[in-house]
Each structure stands twice: as C-alpha cells, then as structure tokens.
C-alpha cells in the first residue's frame, strides 16, 4: 500500500510492504524456452534432411584442405599398339621387332598389337626367328625359327622364305647366335629381300629385319638394324645389347 504526502513542490512516496502474491512469470519463461528449443531442433532436422550430404562433406573437406599444397595429377598416357610411343595412322599397320639380348631375353615380333613370336607363345628359339604376314589382310601366314648354331638349317630356312606368297611381309629377329651355320645361299636369299646387313652378321650379332615380297616399302620406313658382339662393349656377358625397330607400314589402298 502506498502513501503520498505533498511536501513543498514535490510529492513524497512511502511504500509499505505489499502482501504476498502468486508469481506467474517464471513458469511462462520455462514454457517459452522449451518451445524455442523444440523449434530450433526441428528446424535443424529439416535443414539436414533437405541439404544433401555431398556438398556438406565437400565443404568440410575444402575447409580442412585450406593451406595444403595442391597435388597435380598427370594423366596416364594411353597405350599404343605394340607399345609405340605415338599411335600409327588408321590406314597403316603397326609393327615392332626386338632381337634377343643375353641368355634370358628372347626375341619378340609384334604386328598390329598381336604378339606373333615371343617367349610367352613358346615359338622363339636360338637362331633366326621369322614371321610371315599377308600384306593385304594383315593376317599371320606362318612362323618358324631356325637354329644357326647347330644343325644344317639354312636350306629349310630358304624354302620357308620362298614359300611366302606375293604381297607378304616378312619379319626376322635373332636370338643368341644367328650366323655360325648360316651359309652363303641363305645370306643371298635374305639379301635379295633388301637386307644390307645380312652378310655382315657375325657370331651372336643382334639383328632385326623387315622385308616385303612382291611390293616395295616406303623408303622412310625403318627396316633393318644390327649390333655386333664386342667383348669390351657388350651389355651382357658374351652378348651385345638387344636392338629394335618399329614403325607404321601403309596398308594397300582399297
């Protein structure tokens, strides 16, 4: 209860102690806080359901990676036919010849990404390895190896070369020794196909050769290579390093 007294120009007020009343403010605040908490929780739930996880995880990763050094990834080069560095044009045949090297590296003949002769096929051996391919169709006709260290295999090799029909590609590669039992008639037969090195071949020379029968190959095509055995420069004990030639043979115009 209040008492007001006029004193001069001012009013003075004395308050008497009020009677106890019931306080309803506190329960209202509690209800309000509970409702606000429920609304906040429900709003967060709806936001989490509406926004996909990917952007959130991406954003978290982006924040985490701030300050890290960027890593540049170089794309893996596409593999080419016969493991060429650059692709051959579509109107050509891809080839690669690899001579043997040492005692454990066998000769390989690859044509249009197909291994014609190699250790995996089990059709290469000591001496001269030859594959014949039909130039028109690109199909392999025959493969054979001829031991030139033991036995008389020059005659059979000459017959094999002569059996190749016109418009044939002949691929030749040595493994180990290809000259000890190679007679002059066999050397002449290979020379007639265009070889410049067959008569220079020595004991364990590494040699590869591409020949065409019944047609001419373009002059710029890599056709032959030789590496002689030299005790001072040999890569392997008693053997020179392997050698290879590769290229693209133009297909017959249709």
How far apart CA 254 and CA 251 sit, in angstroms, is: 9
Residue-wise DSSP of 238-254: TBPPP-EEEEEEEPPP-
Per-residue pLDDT tens over the stretch 105-155 = 999 999 999 999 999 999 999 999 999 999 999 999 999 999 999 999 999
| 195 and 182 Cβ atoms separated by less than 8 Å | no
CA dihedral 47, 50, 51, 53 (to 10 degrees): 110
Q: Angle CA(91)–CA(242)–CA(215) in degrees, nearest 5?
A: 35
- Which residue in this structure is represented by tokens 């690669």? 96
pLDDT value at residue 195: 97
Per-residue pLDDT tens over the stretch 152-162 = 999 999 999 99
Identify which of 239, 230, 186, 190 has the alpha carbon closest to the alpha carbon of residue 210.
190
pLDDT tops 90 at residue 206: yes
pLDDT value at residue 24: 54
Question: Mean pLDDT across the chain, nearest whole number?
Answer: 83
199 vs 27, more confident: 199
Per-residue pLDDT tens over the stretch 2-24 = 444 444 444 344 334 445 444 55
| DSSP for residue 19 | P
Res. 201 pLDDT band, cuts 50 70 90: very high
pTM given for the model: 0.70
How far apart CA 129 and CA 172 sit, in angstroms, is: 6
């Amino acid at each position: 209860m209040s008492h007001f007294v006029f004193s001069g120009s001012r009013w003075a007020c004395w308050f008497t102690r009020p009677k106890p009343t019931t306080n309803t403010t506190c329960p209202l605040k509690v209800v309000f806080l509970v409702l606000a908490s429920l609304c906040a929780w429900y709003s967060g739930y709806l936001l989490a359901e509406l926004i996909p996880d990917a952007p959130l995880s991406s954003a978290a990763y982006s924040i985490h990676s701030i300050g890290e050094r960027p890593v540049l990834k170089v794309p893996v080069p596409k593999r080419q036919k016969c493991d060429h560095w650059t692709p051959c044009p579509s109107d050509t045949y891809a080839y690669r010849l690899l001579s043997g090297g040492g005692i454990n590296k066998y000769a390989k003949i690859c044509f249009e990404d197909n291994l014609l002769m190699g250790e995996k096929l089990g059709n290469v051996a000591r001496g001269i390895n030859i594959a014949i391919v039909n130039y028109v169709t690109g199909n392999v006709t025959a493969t054979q190896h001829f031991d030139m260290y033991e036995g008389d295999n020059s005659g059979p090799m000459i017959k094999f070369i002569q059996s190749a029909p016109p418009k044939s590609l002949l691929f030749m590669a040595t493994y180990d020794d290809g000259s000890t039992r190679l007679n002059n008639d066999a050397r002449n037969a290979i020379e007639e196909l265009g070889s410049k090195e067959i008569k220079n071949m020595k004991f364990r020379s590494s040699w590869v050769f591409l020949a065409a029968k019944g047609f001419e190959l373009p002059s710029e095509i890599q056709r032959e290579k030789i590496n002689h055995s030299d005790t001072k420069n040999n890569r392997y004990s008693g053997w020179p390093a392997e050698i290879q030639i590769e290229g693209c043979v133009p297909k017959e115009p249709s």
